[in-house]
């Protein structure tokens, strides 16, 4: 029996996905998936998948977001990475931005409205929430991650020197590739960005893959600990990679190559 793991990150109306066979790291795949279920139901049938999307939604939001959002914000501090407060589940399913803002304000203390950036990712949140409602057995396989928290953990708890967007983009992407290589991901998979997937989205999916590995090995760390729970008993938790990350999965032949950065 092979032990496949996966990572997912939202990208322009679809999902950047990566798959790796833990028992044979020469076997891997990177692709653009239309839906989360397409990766979970793929022939590889990954046992654990790290996904950069909120799982577990509050009915009424207090104090700036879910318990996992607040914990993530405290860990990341005032750096470049942002953590949007996720509104109540009813607002996540709103048909318009105006409706989402109204529902969020009426189901939060103190009242808040989701930002336009948060509104733009609500379709991804709805997709995952509805999938886990239809198929609750997938909850053992699909787990929330935050790529910047994962990269920070892989960097010894320190913030990275550059972001993955803006003027320092090339440096930031190269730094993240190097951390993924040190964590043991095969160089070929790190470089295997598929068409239609941004460089940053591919690397974020790979960060989810590292966390999936540690989840399968029972070494991943919950944030917060203990996790919260929503009214459907879904966990409200962001999973982080263990430190140290363990034995590399492949030889670390990765001399700081920049790879394919252009969009």
Residue 82 or 213, more confident: 213
Alpha helices in 135-186 (DSSP H): 147-154, 169-182
How far CA 66 is from CA of 25, 166, 191, 229, in Å, comes to 36, 29, 34, 10
Residue 108 in contact with residue 60, Cβ under 8 Å?
Answer: yes
pLDDT of res. 169: 84
Say if CB 239 and CB 143 are below 8 A apart: yes
Q: What is the pLDDT of residues 113-172, one digit of tens each?
A: 999 999 999 999 999 999 999 999 999 999 999 999 999 999 998 888 888 887 888 999
Residues 48-85: tens digit of each pLDDT: 999 999 999 999 999 889 999 999 999 998 765 678 89
Measured in residues, the chain has a length of 263
Report if residue 258 sits inside a domain.
no
Residue bearing tokens 């008993």: 233
What's the structural domain count of the chain? 1
* Buried b or exposed e, range 78-89, using 16+ CB within 10 angstroms: eeebebbbbbbb
Cα Rg, the chain, nearest whole Å: 18
Distance CA 50, CA 215 (A): 9
Q: Is the dihedral of CA 44, 174, 73, 217 positive or negative?
A: positive
Instruction: Examine the pLDDT at 252 and tell me if it is beyond 50.
Output: no
Residue 261 forms part of a structural domain: no
Count of C-beta atoms within a 10 Å radius of residue 146: 28
Q: Span 237-253, mean pLDDT?
A: 63
Residue 77: phi, psi to the nearest 5? 70, -150
DSSP 196-219: T--HHHHHHHHHHHHHHHHHHTT-
- The H-or-E segment that residue 16 falls in is strand 14-21
Residue range(s) defining the domain that contains residue 69 = 4-240
How many Cβ atoms are within 10 Å of 157's Cβ, its own excluded?
A: 9
What does pTM read for this prediction? 0.91
Average pLDDT over residues 204-233: 97
pLDDT of residue 211: 98
Q: Is residue 247 part of a domain?
A: no
96-107: per-residue pLDDT in tens? 999 999 999 999
Residue 260 inside a domain? The answer is no
The answer as to whether 254 is a domain residue is no
Confidence grade of residue 1 (pLDDT, cut at 50, 70, 90): low
Q: What is the pLDDT of residues 2-13, one digit of tens each?
A: 899 999 999 989
Asked, for residue 236, whether it belongs to a domain, the answer is yes
Task: Specify the pLDDT at position 161.
Answer: 85
In a domain, 196, yes or no: yes
Q: Is residue 82 part of a domain?
A: yes
Between the two ends of the chain, the Cα-to-Cα distance in Å is 37
């Amino acid at each position: 029996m092979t032990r496949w793991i996966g990572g997912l990150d939202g990208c322009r109306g679809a999902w950047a996905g990566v798959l790796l066979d833990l028992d044979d790291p020469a076997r891997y795949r990177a692709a653009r998936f239309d839906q989360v279920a397409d990766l979970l139901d793929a022939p590889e049938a990954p046992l654990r998948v790290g996904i950069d999307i909120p799982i577990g939604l509050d009915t009424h939001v207090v104090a700036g977001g879910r318990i996992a959002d607040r914990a993530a914000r405290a860990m990341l501090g005032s750096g470049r990475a942002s953590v949007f407060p996720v509104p109540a589940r009813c607002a996540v399913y709103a048909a318009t931005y105006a409706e989402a803002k109204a529902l969020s304000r009426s189901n939060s203390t103190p009242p808040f409205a989701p930002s336009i950036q948060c509104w733009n990712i609500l379709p991804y949140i709805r997709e995952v929430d509805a999938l886990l409602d239809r198929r609750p057995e997938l909850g053992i396989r699909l787990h929330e991650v935050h790529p910047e928290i994962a990269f920070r953990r892989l960097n010894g708890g320190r913030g990275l020197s550059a972001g993955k967007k803006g003027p320092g983009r090339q440096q930031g992407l190269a730094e993240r590739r190097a951390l993924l290589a040190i964590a043991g991901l095969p160089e070929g998979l790190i470089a295997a960005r598929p068409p239609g997937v941004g460089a940053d989205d591919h690397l974020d999916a790979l960060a989810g893959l590292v966390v999936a590995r540690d989840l399968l090995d029972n070494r991943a760390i919950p944030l917060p600990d203990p996790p919260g729970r929503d009214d459907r008993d879904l966990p409200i938790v962001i999973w982080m990679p263990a430190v140290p990350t363990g034995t590399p999965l492949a030889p670390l032949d990765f001399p700081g190559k920049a790879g394919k950065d252009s969009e």
